Amino acid sequence: MGTLGSIKLALNALWVNKARSLLTLLGIVIGISAVVTIIASGEGVQQFVLGQIQSFGTNVMAIVPGGSEGERIGPPAAVMGVTVTTLTIEDAQAIANPRNVPDVVEVGMASDASQAVVTGREGDIFVTIYGVSPAYFSLSSMDFAEGSGFSEDDVKIANKVVVLGSTLKEKMFGDEPAVGQRIKLRNYRYRIVGVLESGGSIFGIIDLGKFAYIPVTTAQQLILGVNHLSEIMVRVTSEDRIEAARADVQNLLRERHDTTDPKNDDFTIRTIKDALQMIQLVMGALTLFLAAIAAISLLVGGIGIMNIMLVSVTERTREIGLRKALGARRRDILGQFLLEAILLTLIGGLLGFVLGISGAFATAQAGGWAFHLSVAAIVLPLAMTVFFGVVFGIYPAIRASRLDPIVALRYE
Amino acid sequence: MAAAIIQLKDLTKSYGKGLAETRALEGVNLTVNSGEFVAIMGPSGSGKSTLLHILGLLDKPSLGQYFLDGRRVDHLSENQLSDLRNQKMGFMFQAFNLLPRTSALENVELPLVYRSGLRGAKRRQLAELALAQVGLSQRSNNLPNQLSGGEQQRVAIARALVVNPQVILADEPTGNLDTKNSIEIMEVLSRLHREGRTIILVTHEKDLAAYAGRVIQLRDGRVESDIYQGNQHPLTLAATWAP
């Protein structure tokens, strides 16, 4: 029989039981759409995250308080929400000394964050107050739209000056210049010395424009009442020097903190490379998780297909008997039912593909990353559906092909 | 003298082994010549269905030899038997066995679908010709459930004819039909016989066997009698049935 005729025959058989075919397809539809979404979104998210991280520069490392298990990959205590008080301004100053760390270019500091409420033109604004040193702005690739920020001297004397995020500035002053004005944060009035360029968010969730940056010493003394840091950022001369600098910083801090056993480190050093590694690890785990869901869905869907094909073979026993009596060989019958199973999964795969692409497009729009359809996202699901069609269609098809025509012809 | 199209030599078919062995056919010798109209009769359990299945190459004998058109066929592979059925046999069944939701024309085309190298247009042309032979050209696009029982069986005859078979095997072809339709089908079969077709009919109705020129009685797997009835005109029988 011609290929076209076979396909027409198979489609006819599926069309006769439209509702049943459609319900059978659901598992495949969900599975394939999950696969497509994973592949299509995964790439977009990865590009997006890598881009964000690389904007910080590849010659930068961060030191956070508290040790971390599992060398460079496990989360340090500070990230897990535990306050660790082992990192100080003196530590940062020691790192900044070229005699200790020859490759150092600049060192930035940051305190813990705290919250305040200020009165804007259209009501109250929740502000996150962050104590930093001047180098923090350049280390974080933040540029000034107005003014130029505060100086090392402001840090030294714990001056009451502030740099505003763009959103905050706009809500308080509109288009008018803000530098030179004063705002009240908690109980003190601060002189505005700079406004940051707009833009910037932490993965699209936290708006950096609502931050108010004050000297790190001011934050420690007037707001937090502590003398430890939450982060020290270090820029070194170049990307290749980062591992050498890491070792220098590590030795310096161990010496300063009287630690000999690396297991007892009370700080964690992270480079961009670590961050990339971590992100890839997280992405990998997430992808694996979604892939597992997709695989289970495909498996269930595939078993559904096998089930419905077995039902179909039983229902059409007489038809099979007749075809064999009239000269169909085993492989004709096998081909007929296998083709039916493959077409069934292929239709499911197609529906799932459309659904998955739409899903990936929607998440890309919502997440703000570029929608990108790769060859893998098209070929892999297609290959998978054909594969599943064959795997789950072959058993019913073999059953059909082996029917004894005498028995089959008399089947009621 | 017409050529022997079918020759069975000492044919035996048994099921089971040892004490449980039962013989459906035992030492059957039979020759059917080209152009004969043979009726196989017998009570249920006499082995007539088994014989028809072996003749139709749907089943293999346990012992003995089967020559079809001079060629020994009892030891052929499944695929070879499929091809032989496709080329040399025309089947008719008691339950018609037409594919539902498939037009009369497509039903007639079905055996040709399993013949390689036959284009769709050629298949359709042959199927239309076969339908015309049973007088159903006007009904070619109808589905089986839009046809009467007699018409359905005529479609089945066309399906048997379309392969230009050497033998037409009819298994109780009127078993599901009323008297009027039965006569109609038997008329078609005897016309095909007059046109030179070889027909083997399995039935348990004496009246139908009367259409055949030769009646073979089976009992307990053996040929009990094999009688040539001469040329009894079937129309006289039709008259006895008429209301």
Query: pLDDT: is A214 or A79 the higher one?
Result: A214
Does residue A169 sit in the same domain as residue A301?
no
Name chain B contacts of A406, Cβ cutoff 8 Å: 53, 58-59
Distance CA B223, CA B217 (A): 6
Chain A nearest C-alpha distance from B89 (Å): 8
Confidence band for B62, pLDDT divided at 50, 70 and 90? very high
Burial A388-398 (b: 16+ CB within 10 A, else e): bbebbbbebbe
pLDDT of B243 reads 43
Structure tokens that stand for B24 in this block: 């459906």
Number of domains in chain B: 1
Name chain B contacts of A2, Cβ cutoff 8 Å: 120
**Nearest C-alpha neighbor of A245 from the set A100, A32, A395:** A100
Q: Which of A319, A332, A405 sits opposite B99 (nearest CB)?
A: A319
Chain B nearest C-alpha distance from A334 (Å): 13
The pairing of strands A104-120 and B167-171 is unpaired
Asked whether residue A203 carries a pLDDT value surpassing 70, the answer given is: no
Chain centroid to Cα A10, Å, comes to 42
Q: Which of A327, A328, A409 sits opposite B93 (nearest CB)?
A: A409
Chain B nearest C-alpha distance from A37 (Å): 40
Does residue A307 sit in the same domain as residue A394?
yes
Structure tokens that stand for A293 in this block: 């869901």
Task: Could you list the beta-strand ranges (E) of A121-239.
Answer: 123-132, 144-147, 161-164, 182-185, 188-196, 201-202, 206-207, 211-215, 231-236
Chain A nearest C-alpha distance from B118 (Å): 9
Distance CA A194, CA A179 (A): 6
Q: Which of A1, A16, A324 sits opposite B113 (nearest CB)?
A: A1
Residues 6+ apart with CB under 8 A from A296: none
CA angle A194-A195-A200, nearest 5°?
135
Instruction: Kindly state whether residue A70 falls inside one of the protein's structural domains.
Output: no
Contact A328 B114 (CB under 8 A): yes
**Nearest C-alpha neighbor of A321 from the set A209, A404, A381, A256:** A404
Residue pair B19/B195 in contact (Cβ under 8 Å)? The answer is no
Distance CA A213, CA B103 (A): 82
Identify the contact set of chain A against chain B, taking CB-CB distances under 8 A. Answer: 1-2, 5, 12, 16, 318-319, 321-330, 332, 405-406, 409
Does residue A296 sit in the same domain as residue A208?
no
CB of B211 within 8 Å of any CB in chain A?
no
Does residue A327 sit in the same domain as residue A404?
yes
Name chain B contacts of A10, Cβ cutoff 8 Å: none
Say which amino acid occupies B165: P
Chain B residue at shortest CA distance from A9: B102
Asked which of A265, A287, A305 is the last residue of a domain, the reply is: A265
Query: pLDDT: is A230 or A77 the higher one?
Result: A230
Distance CA A362, CA B81 (A): 58
Chain A residue at shortest CA distance from B87: A327
pLDDT in tens, B83-123: 999 999 999 999 999 998 899 999 999 999 998 888 889 99
CB of B85 within 8 Å of any CB in chain A?
yes
Residue pair A41/A360 in contact (Cβ under 8 Å)? The answer is yes
CB of B94 within 8 Å of any CB in chain A?
no
Name chain A contacts of B114, Cβ cutoff 8 Å: 1, 323, 326-329, 332
Chain B residue at shortest CA distance from A322: B97
Instruction: Kindly state whether residue A380 falls inside one of the protein's structural domains.
Output: yes
Asked whether residue A45 carries a pLDDT value surpassing 80, the answer given is: no
Asked which of A240, A265, A290 is the last residue of a domain, the reply is: A265
Q: Which of B59, B86, B97 sits opposite A327 (nearest CB)?
A: B86
CB of B83 within 8 Å of any CB in chain A?
yes
Beta partners for residue A269, in sequence order: A63
Three-state SS at A242? helix
A123: left (phi over 0), alpha (psi -120 to 50) or beta: left
Residues 6+ apart with CB under 8 A from A282: none
Chain A residue at shortest CA distance from B123: A1
Confidence band for A77, pLDDT divided at 50, 70 and 90? low
Q: Which of A16, A321, A332 sits opposite B114 (nearest CB)?
A: A332
Instruction: Kindly state whether residue B12 falls inside one of the protein's structural domains.
Output: no
Specify the range with the lowest mean pLDDT, choosing from A174-178, A376-380, B139-143, B215-219.
Answer: A376-380
Chain centroid to Cα B29, Å, comes to 19
Structure tokens that stand for A220 in this block: 């420690």
Confidence band for A361, pLDDT divided at 50, 70 and 90? confident
Chain B nearest C-alpha distance from A12 (Å): 9
The pairing of strands A188-196 and A182-185 is antiparallel
Distance CA B30, CA B167 (A): 15
Name chain B contacts of A12, Cβ cutoff 8 Å: 101
pLDDT of B143 reads 94
Instruction: Kindly state whether residue A62 falls inside one of the protein's structural domains.
Output: no
C-alpha distances in Å from residue B211, one per residue of A279, B192, B223: 88, 12, 20
CB of B179 within 8 Å of any CB in chain A?
no
CB of B67 within 8 Å of any CB in chain A?
no
Does residue A224 sit in the same domain as residue A310?
no
Asked whether residue A53 carries a pLDDT value surpassing 80, the answer given is: no
Asked whether residue A329 carries a pLDDT value surpassing 90, the answer given is: yes
Q: Which of A323, A325, A328 sits opposite B58 (nearest CB)?
A: A325
pLDDT of A160 reads 93
Contact B111 A409 (CB under 8 A): no
pLDDT in tens, A233-251: 999 998 888 889 999 998 9
Q: Count Cβ atoms below 10 Å from residue B77 Cβ, excluding itself.
A: 8
pLDDT of A116 reads 87
Confidence band for A292, pLDDT divided at 50, 70 and 90? confident
| H or E stretch covering B37 | strand B37-41
Does residue A298 sit in the same domain as residue A207?
no
Instruction: Return mean pLDDT, chain A.
Output: 85
Does residue A252 sit in the same domain as residue A287?
no
Distance CA A317, CA A314 (A): 5
Does residue A143 sit in the same domain as residue A245?
yes
Contact A327 B82 (CB under 8 A): yes
Does residue A112 sit in the same domain as residue A206?
yes
pLDDT of B236 reads 44
Instruction: Kindly state whether residue B72 falls inside one of the protein's structural domains.
Output: no
Give the ipTM of the model, two decimals please.
Answer: 0.91
Q: Which of the 8 DSSP states describes residue B137?
A: G
pLDDT of A137 reads 87
C-alpha distances in Å from residue A196, one per residue of A57, A179, A250, B13, B131: 19, 11, 33, 98, 88
List, as one string, the DSSP characters of B41-81: E--TTSSHHHHHHHHTTSS--SEEEEEETTEE-TT--HHHH
Number of domains in chain A: 2
| H or E stretch covering A283 | helix A272-315
Instruction: Kindly state whether residue A161 falls inside one of the protein's structural domains.
Output: yes
Task: Provide the CATH number for the domain around residue B110.
Answer: 3.40.50.300
Domain containing B224: what range? Answer: 34-60+79-241
pLDDT of A125 reads 87
Does residue A45 sit in the same domain as residue A127?
no
pLDDT of A69 reads 59
Domain containing A171: what range? Answer: 85-265
Distance CA A207, CA A185 (A): 19
Does residue A207 sit in the same domain as residue A174?
yes
CB of B58 within 8 Å of any CB in chain A?
yes
Does residue A209 sit in the same domain as residue A136?
yes
Instruction: Kindly state whether residue A57 falls inside one of the protein's structural domains.
Output: no
Asked which of A230, A265, A300 is the last residue of a domain, the reply is: A265
Instruction: Kindly state whether residue A156 falls inside one of the protein's structural domains.
Output: yes
Contact B120 A325 (CB under 8 A): no
